[in-house]
């Protein structure tokens, strides 16, 4: 069992829909990252958070430390949001590295 689990694996939406991607992890973390990977393969860091909530434009990331769960929300989704979204955790037992989820492939249709 992977230490970082994401759901769903694949997600399709119509433009304008509200999107939620979930990430759960197994043990205590020092930080959790949300990343976006576009079809060409390059990865962009969206958020790094260790508690609470962060917002950037139409993207919102939340984390619940007690439940070991984080969500990435996209409001008013747009076709340009189509990408793979990856969560990655820095666990307290080893802060040298990230442990990655397998990613959620999002397609937003006009």
Partner 1 sequence: DGGITQSPKYLFRKEGQNVTLSCEQNLNHDAMYWYRQDPGQGLRLIYYSQIVNDFQKGDIAEGYSVSREKKESFPLTVTSAQKNPTAFYLCAINRGRGQPQHFGDGTRLSIL
Residues that bind partner 1 (CB under 8 A): 2, 4, 30-31, 33, 35, 40-45, 48, 86, 88, 90, 95-103
- Closest approach, Cβ 48 to partner 1, in A, equals 5
Q: Quote the tokens at residue 109.
A: 């249709």
Question: How far apart are the C-alpha atoms of 91 and 25, rounded to whole Å?
Answer: 9
Q: What's the Rg (C-alpha) of the chain? A: 13
Nearer to partner 1, 31 or 60 (CB): 31
Contact 91, 3 (CB under 8 A): yes
Nearer to partner 1, 69 or 100 (CB): 100
Nearer to partner 1, 27 or 43 (CB): 43
For 80, phi and psi rounded to 5 degrees? -70, -10
- Closest approach, Cβ 41 to partner 1, in A, equals 4
**Beta partners for residue 68, in sequence order:** none
- Closest approach, Cβ 83 to partner 1, in A, equals 13
How many other C-beta atoms are found inside a 10 Å radius of the C-beta of residue 12?
12
- Closest approach, Cβ 42 to partner 1, in A, equals 4
Nearer to partner 1, 40 or 110 (CB): 40
């Amino acid at each position: 069992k992977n230490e970082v689990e994401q759901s769903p694996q694949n997600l399709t939406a119509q433009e304008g829909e509200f999107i939620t991607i979930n990430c759960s992890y197994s043990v205590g973390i020092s930080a959790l990252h949300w990343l976006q990977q576009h079809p060409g393969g390059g990865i962009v860091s969206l958020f790094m958070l260790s508690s609470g909530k962060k917002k950037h434009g139409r993207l919102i990331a939340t984390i619940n430390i007690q439940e070991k769960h984080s969500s990435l929300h996209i409001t008013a989704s747009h076709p340009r949001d189509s990408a793979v979204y990856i969560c990655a955790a820095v666990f307290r037992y080893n802060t040298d590295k990230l442990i990655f989820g397998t990613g959620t492939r999002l397609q937003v249709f006009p």
